[in-house]
Structure 1
């Protein structure tokens, strides 16, 4: 056999070896793909597989008893997701909202409650849904970084309960929270007014004080508001309004410290 023939045989041998290696690689890649595919399917089945309703609800209640509220909320969501037309679905929505509230996930709780009220407006549990939604805004408004938006939404929600469900189990608590929220808003408004007075922006202070007395007539800060209104009247040159406001202050709060201060202020002015 000549040299050329030997070289050809060697090349053919190498080609066969390379082809065999390629086939093994393709087989390995295919097996690896199949393996990942079935693992993925098993994971999907583990997460999304259909389960009996009582089993799903039992699991949700177990996580609730463990006070794992975030997980419990997701488990109640799963009950509603897999059995949306069952009689358990509305109850699971409310339980999910309650668990989200306990987990301090207020936006999720509010969204769930709004969905429930849209789907079941005449439900016997609608009163509770309205109350829990207002309670979410109320609890969230106490965060230091929050502005008055949640306070106003909470006020609106509790006032709605007092008007629509005056004899419900939630009406009395709603009334108490309305008073608290109004005082909370009054305190916030008075802080702004004090700042205006400090910066000698008496026209702006006068305008806000007039609205304050109208909107927060039951606030414990009304005596201070009347006193500061007298200060604005003096600076802006309204003598008639000055004495009318002082008369109102003295009549309603005769022994209040702000009344004594107003009297001293008027004596100094004269």
Structure 2
């Protein structure tokens, strides 16, 4: 069962509402205060006593707004629980629901802030994994296309990895792993795009650095095949034939049916050499312990 359904369904507002504490003393309107003369003994100022709404009532109001998809209004209601009933169970429940409402409403930065506050204040509660998931998902949903800065992608991966490490048995772990794969693919795509640009400009060392990042850090993404072929191109252009042969050999070993391997093999053949792996190359070392093509995910 999803978190939203749990909170709006069986979990609802479980438990008894907290007893209403001391009432807040609020001055009447500004006009009333300005007209009151403290030196006139015939006038007696009577402060208006306004009681806080019961916590359960505020919480239910927030849930009703969620059902109506008034997420911004719901978030404000849940947030008010912390102000009116600080350090209470209602405050805790309100904070996680505030994060949820902000996330559903597309207010990602607000969702991240509320989720982070929850983790700081309630790191060992049953909803801590969900707070981490909301924070990670808020970064993930802001991932831009590969032509733009990928800071959100990097933050998404870090927070998703933290979720998997800290809460490996949570119901959100499997989805987090899938999202890590997608975000990693995005970062690899960005590196590959820049590498292609350098290769076109004949900045071979710059291109190699970008392709190396893909091969070293994003081996399980769909971009690694092209990165190995591009390394073959760049190394051949620089006359570093041994590394070009190794890149092609590793590509052929892991992706024998890849069209990128056919291109790499043709390029080496044109240069009078064949794919041959040097086990001491950084390329070979990067692929040691990596699952074979049949075992890859994504």
- How far residue 153 of structure 1 moved from its aligned partner, in angstroms, is 1.1
- Greater mean alpha carbon deviation, residues 122-131 or residues 238-247: 238-247
| TM, length-normalised to structure 2 | 0.72
For the residues of structure 2 that align with 1:185 and 1:106, how far apart are their CA atoms?
Answer: 21
- How far residue 213 of structure 1 moved from its aligned partner, in angstroms, is 0.6
C-alpha deviations, 1:188-218, integer Å up to 9, x for none?
1111111111111111111222222111111
Q: Which residue of 1 aligns with 2:77?
A: 75
C-alpha deviations, 1:3-27, integer Å up to 9, x for none?
xxxxxxxxxxxxxxxxxxxxxxxxx
Q: Which residue of 2 aligns with 1:16?
A: none
Query: Equivalent of 2:172, from 170, 173, 184?
Result: 170
Any gaps of 5 or more consecutive residues in structure 2?
1-27, 35-47, 273-298
- How far residue 223 of structure 1 moved from its aligned partner, in angstroms, is 1.6
- How far residue 234 of structure 1 moved from its aligned partner, in angstroms, is 1.1
8 Å Cα contact 1:53-1:83 kept in structure 2: yes
Q: Which residue of 1 aligns with 2:218?
A: 216
Q: Which residue of 2 aligns with 1:133?
A: 135
8 Å Cα contact 1:227-1:258 kept in structure 2: yes
- Paired residue secondary structure (2:186): helix
Q: Which residue of 1 aligns with 2:294?
A: none
Q: Higher relative contact order by CA 8 Å / sep ≥ 6: 1 or 2? A: 2
1:57-206 alignment, distance < 5 Å = 57-142=59-144, 147-206=149-208
8 Å Cα contact 1:151-1:185 kept in structure 2: yes
Structure 1 residues 35 and 95, CA, compared in 2 at 3 Å: closer, same or farther?
closer
C-alpha deviations, 1:130-152, integer Å up to 9, x for none?
11110111111247896211111
Q: Which has the higher helix share?
A: 1
- Paired residue secondary structure (2:80): helix
8 Å Cα contact 2:164-2:177 kept in structure 1: yes
For the residues of structure 2 that align with 1:101 and 1:144, how far apart are their CA atoms?
Answer: 23
For the residues of structure 2 that align with 1:38 and 1:61, how far apart are their CA atoms?
Answer: 36
8 Å Cα contact 1:141-1:147 kept in structure 2: no
| TM, length-normalised to structure 1 | 0.79
- Paired residue secondary structure (2:72): helix
For the residues of structure 1 that align with 2:146 and 2:83, how far apart are their CA atoms?
Answer: 36
- Paired residue secondary structure (2:141): helix
Any gaps of 5 or more consecutive residues in structure 1?
1-33
For the residues of structure 1 that align with 2:33 and 2:145, how far apart are their CA atoms?
Answer: 45
Computing the radius of gyration over CA atoms, which structure comes out larger, 1 or 2?
A: 1
- Paired residue secondary structure (1:141): coil
RMSD: 2.3
- How far residue 244 of structure 1 moved from its aligned partner, in angstroms, is 2.0
